[in-house]
Structure 1
Amino acid sequence: MLELRDGSDHGNRGTEIWSSQLGINQLARAVIRCFDEVAQTHGESGYRGKWGEHFPRTELEARRRLWRIHQPQAT
């Protein structure tokens, strides 16, 4: 994960702040939890004020539904 000085930067023009090898289930769970934390901390209107975009609620909930459907079942 890179921290970008300017949000329009991309590629390798940032500072690495996190690196890990995760399975797809763990990665999906981490992404969902991070967006949940951002929504709780800043609120959806605060998200727009901070990042200049609407909070991706629809996309987050779609990702959450897919993650739940595809989780390995406990036996």
Structure 2
Amino acid sequence: MSSLSITWTLGSHGWAVVKVADGGGEAEAIASHITEAPEQFLYAVARLVLGEKETRAELEGEPQVYRWFFRRNGSVVDVRLVLADDAQAPEGSGAVLWSGRHTVTALARSAVRAFDRLDYGQGEEAYESQWGRPFPRLELEVLRTAMRSYQRATAADDSASEASR
């Protein structure tokens, strides 16, 4: 599995460009502040880290909608970014812009890094002024906490496996 990079870049007031890239390709999505796109994305990744098998997040591009589909199998997540005509489009419709297979850890780290870069680069006040909504601090910390729990559980499983040999 190749390296995964996710970036959120705030553009004009209330708009963001989200880029995802790995060794297999890259894609861009556009997000409007009319929905809680960052919050949905961070919570979806946190749910995966906590063991959920399938989840999704949606970014409203007005009128298009960008849908992230996540399917977890063990420690690996298959991710698809799909562009649909609008929010009323059936869930299975649209064009796949990007897909990749990454570990739960790589996906979670990429998501945390994306929002840490926004926080450190702009700060919460500038983020809110430019995005039009508060920085998703709670959602970012939920993901960070989920990652720590996952890492502890994984380390404990590894220790138990080694002890039984």
Same fold flag (TM > 0.5): yes
Residue of structure 2 in register with 1:28 after alignment: 108
Aligned: 1:49 with 2:129: yes
Give the structure-1-normalised TM-score.
Answer: 0.76
Secondary structure of 1:22 counterpart? strand
Give the structure-2-normalised TM-score.
Answer: 0.38
**Mapped partners of 2:101, 2:29: distance in 1:** 18
Residue of structure 1 in register with 2:138 after alignment: 58
* Superposed displacement of residue 39, structure 1: 0.2
Secondary structure of 2:101 counterpart? coil
Relative to structure 1, the CA distance from residue 65 to residue 50 in structure 2 (aligned partners, 3 Å threshold; closer, same or farther) is: same
* Superposed displacement of residue 19, structure 1: 5.5
May I ask how many residue pairs the two structures share in their alignment?
A: 71
Aligned: 1:3 with 2:83: no
Residue of structure 2 in register with 1:67 after alignment: 147
Instruction: Judging by fraction of residues, say which structure has more strand.
Output: 2
**Mapped partners of 1:51, 1:62: distance in 2:** 21
Relative to structure 1, the CA distance from residue 26 to residue 43 in structure 2 (aligned partners, 3 Å threshold; closer, same or farther) is: same
Q: Which runs of 5+ in 2 are unaligned?
A: 1-19, 21-27, 33-59, 67-82, 85-96, 160-165
**Mapped partners of 2:99, 2:125: distance in 1:** 30
* Superposed displacement of residue 33, structure 1: 1.1
Instruction: Judging by fraction of residues, say which structure has more helix.
Output: 1
Misfit runs of 4+, over 3 Å: none
Bigger radius of gyration, 1 or 2?
A: 2
Q: Which runs of 5+ in 1 are unaligned?
A: none
Secondary structure of 1:32 counterpart? helix
1:3 partner letter: A
